[in-house]
Chains A and B, each alone.
Chain A
Amino acid sequence: MSKDPVVELKLPIIPDIELSATKTAEVISKHMNLSEEKSAEVSMALIESCINAFEHSKTKEIFIHFIVEPDKLTVKVIDKGVGFDKSKVEIPNIENKLNSDERKRGWGLQLVSELMDSVEYNSDESGTTVTMTKKRDNE
């Protein structure tokens, strides 16, 4: 049995570098015959995961693995930073954010959750791995 193809990226934290990851995601999505809609959802989730890692990991680089599997695309966004406690992240709500002092940001996890078919977070003091999947289109 052939091994699932894997594409690995190492990105330094510089402005807008997440767009280089989305370019790679688009090529892989096309290779997998994912619909344009699913491809765009993967790219958007990837942008948000990268930004979260850039902002919160306190590291200088992140790693992205794309794993092409028969039934799905798995994307891992990995940092070797300080980690975070997902249970302490509040679910954002625009009603709470409007007309209040609450910061308007904080949508990343919610967007990733809604855009991908599954998302898992493994995080401790040695870093965070976000593992998200998008099912392949039915033939």
Chain B
Amino acid sequence: MSDSIKNVEEKDGVIIISTAGYFNNLAGEAVLEVFTKKMESGSTKFLVDMNDSKVVNSIGVSILIEIIEKLQVVNGVMAFTNLAGIVEKTFNIMGITKYCEVYDSVDSALEKLS
């Protein structure tokens, strides 16, 4: 597993991807790789926990747009939790939050998504 991915687990039909460190292009590609494998095996609900990624750049976040695009085709869901204030603001500016839900915690996300 990439250094950018701390953990991947499935709970209640939701794939939870926990990232770590600077969310740059490498981190974005690592999330895309996990997403692609899980989507190929039938998963359509994804939650990205960014509790340990407080700094992002737009190149990494742009890769998330690719994931959103692929999920739209299968009516899938992408959500985020534990976003730092500046990360959520960045997502808002880029329009990511128009297409993804943001939750305060993993538990509150699972309650809605599962």
Contacts and interface: CB of A to CB of B under 8 A. Distances in A.
A48 B68 contact: no
Interface residues of B, number: 26
A94 B59 CA distance: 14
Interface in A75-134: 92-95, 97-99, 104-108, 110-111, 114-115
A93 B95 contact: yes
A98 to B, nearest CB: 5
B93 A114 contact: yes
A51 B85 contact: no
A105 B65 CA distance: 9
Chain A interface extent, by class: 20 to 34
A111 B69 contact: no
A48 B93 CA distance: 13
Given A19-B22, A43-B86, A98 B59 contact: no
Nearest to A92: B94
A37 interface: yes
A4 interface: no
- Pick from A18, A37, A43, A97 the residue with the most CB of B within 10 Å: A97
28 contacts: A16-B24, A18-B57, A37-B86, A44-B86, A44-B89, A44-B90, A48-B57, A48-B58, A51-B57, A51-B58, A94-B94, A94-B95, A94-B96, A98-B69, A98-B72, A98-B99, A104-B62, A104-B63, A104-B66, A105-B62, A107-B93, A107-B94, A110-B93, A110-B94, A111-B90, A111-B94, A114-B93, A115-B89
Interface of A: 16, 18-19, 22, 36-37, 40-41, 43-44, 47-48, 51, 92-95, 97-99, 104-108, 110-111, 114-115
Nearest 9 pairs of A and B residues by beta carbon = A94-B95, A40-B86, A107-B58, A104-B62, A104-B65, A105-B62, A114-B93, A47-B57, A98-B69
